[in-house]
Every structure is written in C-alpha cells, then in structure tokens.
C-alpha cells in the first residue's frame, strides 16, 4: 500500500523502537556491545573502589601514641614497621625534632626544615 508504514519506522528509514521492524524483539549487536561496555566500566569502577578501600584500611593511621616510644611500638604491632633494623632506627629518631604539630600522631607530617635541606647542596638526601 502506498504511504503505509511498517514496524514503527518513521518513514525516513530510522527505527524508533530499536527493533529490526519485524516485531520479534531481537537484540541488536550494538545493544549487546553497549551493555558489555557498561558492565566492564562498572566492574572497573568497583575494582578501583575496592583497591582504594584496601589501601585506606591498610593505611588507616591507627597506630598513634602519646609518646614517641608508644607510636613506634604501635607501628610495629600493627605491621607498618616490619624489620628490627627499621624499628631500632625509628625508635632512636624522635619525630618531635622534625614534626612541629602532633608528632606522635600516625599520619603524614610536614618535615620542618626540609626545604632548607634541599636548598643546601645538590638537593639529594
């Protein structure tokens, strides 16, 4: 019939419903690829989140102490310090000489005078 439209086509060759026009509800290759891409993106995002959670939990900064000795012993007890040599060196070097604020908190600290040390000599420690 002239002027009759079939299967939801708009007359310009486009397919509004996404079906092939035969009413079978068949899934196109593009829909499958699109779905797989979304799934892979979701899986990658979840892997990143899990990795960051694992890192954050490992570095939860839960080993602080009221004194230098308590801080170092807690770092060792929680598995941050693993060798006897590192334990001995850390115990012999009090953080209060280098960190001005909360030196015994188990968290990243600014090192007093670090910029000056780098400006002296070659910049290597």
pTM value?
0.43
Using 50, 70 and 90 to split pLDDT, how confident is the model at 113? low
The pLDDT value given to residue 9: 46
pLDDT reading at 115 higher than 80: no
- pLDDT number for residue 69: 93
Backbone angles phi and psi of 9, in degrees to 5: -75, 145
pLDDT mean over 51-62: 68
CB neighbour list of residue 38: distance below 8 Å, 6 or more residues apart: none
Query: Token pair of 12, please?
Result: 């310009």
Rounded Cα distance between 105 and 60, Å, is 12
Is residue 5 pLDDT above 80, yes or no? no
């Amino acid at each position: 019939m002239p002027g009759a439209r079939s299967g939801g086509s708009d007359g310009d060759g486009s397919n509004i419903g996404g079906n092939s026009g035969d009413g079978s509800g068949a899934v196109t290759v593009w829909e499958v690829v699109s779905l797989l891409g979304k799934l892979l993106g979701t899986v990658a995002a979840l892997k990143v989140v899990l990795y960051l959670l694992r890192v954050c939990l490992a570095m939860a900064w839960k080993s602080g102490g009221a004194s230098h000795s308590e801080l170092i012993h807690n770092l060792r007890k929680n598995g941050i310090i693993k060798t006897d040599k590192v334990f001995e060196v850390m115990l012999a070097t009090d953080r209060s000489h280098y960190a001005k604020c909360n030196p015994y908190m188990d968290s990243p600290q600014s090192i007093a005078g670090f910029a000056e040390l780098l400006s002296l000599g070659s910049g290597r420690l």
